[in-house]
């Protein structure tokens, strides 16, 4: 319990820091509106720890571009600071398509290609890349509140983020490769896409799929307030200032997230 208390205090202090920094970030953006920072495709661990874990020490992230605003870049740097023993890997839209084409069947690639909203594609990609390589996935605006070295226990084969309603989210996800739980999630996403079962991204490829696929399974969970937050350093403006569609929750109101092969 004492450790949880320290984590909670750490999370609150990080939240205060992030909210304080947003003011300077807005000022920077106003003075240099076209300035962008590059997130690397790969970065080695800052230093290596001797501890062995079943889940590989790799952080995975994705975004529609690797050229980001100062707020998103600060979020990236913070995760590097909080995870110095972890390798970092990043893929943009084109990288994700190339990876799936190389690593998965034409059926999986076709399903991925049917998805027309970037967030839905990112939802699908995260489970595919972890199934292939293992590691820890974080949304581009998400950050851990405690070092990953201590969040991910040696015996974990996967770890899911739990909210106070006992539902899991997918903006943080950790897993070994070839995980049967991820296999179930991938199968459920494929069925949803092929059956065009819903126009809601959260139920098509997101948390809704996770909660249904994991129902009744005894999996490791971490409470989000002691593990990972979103939007502390960044927000919708900083994330989507260069995005042609805008935030996924707005886009899905105007057109369906799935276009079947052959449709225009």
* Burial track 150-164 (b if 16+ CB lie within 10 A, e otherwise): ebbeeebbbbbbbee
Instruction: Please report, for the chain, the start and end positions of each structural domain, with discontinuous segments joined by +.
Output: 2-251
CATH number of 2-251: 3.90.550
pLDDT in tens, the chain (264 residues): 567 889 999 999 999 999 999 999 999 999 999 999 999 999 999 998 878 899 999 999 999 999 999 999 999 999 999 999 999 999 999 999 999 999 999 999 999 999 988 899 999 999 999 999 999 999 999 999 999 999 999 999 999 999 878 899 999 999 999 999 999 999 999 999 999 877 788 999 999 999 999 998 999 999 999 999 999 999 999 999 988 666 655 565 555 667 754 443
Give the integer Cα–Cα distance in Å for 134 and 120. 20
Query: What are the C-alpha distances in Å from 123 to residues 86, 130, 238?
Result: 22, 11, 20
User: Which value, in Å, is the radius of gyration of the alpha carbons in the chain?
Assistant: 18
Give the integer Cα–Cα distance in Å for 242 and 254. 19
Q: Is 63 exposed, middle or buried (0-12, 13-18, 19+ CB in 10 A)?
A: buried
Q: What is the pTM of this model?
A: 0.93
């Amino acid at each position: 319990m004492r450790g949880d208390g320290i984590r909670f205090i750490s999370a609150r202090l990080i939240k205060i820091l992030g909210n304080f920094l947003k003011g300077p970030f807005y000022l920077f953006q106003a003075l240099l509106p076209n300035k962008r920072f590059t997130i690397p495709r790969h970065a080695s661990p800052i230093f290596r720890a001797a501890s062995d874990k079943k889940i590989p020490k790799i952080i995975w992230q994705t975004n529609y571009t690797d050229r980001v605003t100062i707020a998103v870049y600060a979020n990236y740097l913070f995760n590097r600071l909080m995870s110095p023993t972890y390798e970092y890997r990043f893929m943009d839209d084109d990288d994700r398509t190339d990876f799936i084409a190389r690593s998965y069947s034409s059926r999986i690639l076709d399903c991925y290609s049917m998805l027309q909203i970037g967030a839905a594609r990112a939802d699908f990609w995260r489970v595919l890349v972890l199934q292939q390589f293992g590691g820890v996935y974080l949304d581009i605006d998400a950050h851990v509140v405690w070092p990953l070295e201590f969040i991910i226990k040696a015996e974990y084969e996967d770890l899911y983020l739990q909210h106070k309603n006992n539902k899991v989210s997918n903006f943080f996800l950790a897993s070994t490769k070839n995980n049967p739980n991820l296999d179930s999630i991938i199968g459920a996403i494929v069925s949803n896409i092929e059956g065009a079962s819903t126009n809601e991204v959260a139920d098509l490829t997101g948390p809704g799929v996770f909660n249904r696929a994991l129902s009744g399974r005894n999996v490791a969970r971490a409470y989000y307030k002691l593990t990972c937050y979103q939007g502390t350093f960044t927000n919708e403006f900083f994330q989507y200032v260069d995005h042609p569609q805008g935030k996924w929750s707005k886009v899905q109101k105007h057109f369906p997230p799935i276009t079947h092969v052959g449709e225009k």
